[in-house]
Structure 1
Amino acid sequence: MTSTPSLRPLHPSDAPELDRLQRLAYGDGLQEPTAALLSKITLAPEFCFGAPADAPGRLAAYLLAHPWPSQESPGLARVLTALPERADALHLHDVAVDPAHSGRGIASALISALVDAAIAHGFDLITLVAVQDAAPFWEKQGFCPIRPAVGYDEGALFMERRVGKGAVS
Structure 2
Amino acid sequence: MVKIKSPATGVALAIILVAPAACGKNGGQAQRPPVNLLIDAPRGAGVWRHTSWWEQDKGNSASRRWLRGVSDFTEIADAFGSVDAAKDHFRNLAPEKISPDVYRGVKNDDIGATMDGADEVEFKCGETNGSACMTWWTWARYGKYTVQFTYRHDPADATALTDTELAMIVSNAGREVAKKARGNS
TM-score in terms of structure 2 length: 0.30
- Bigger strand share: 2
Identify, as 1 or 2, the structure richer in helix.
1
Structure of larger gyration radius: 2
**Larger RCO: 1 or 2 (CA < 8 Å, sep 6+):** 2
Normalising by structure 1, what TM-score? 0.32
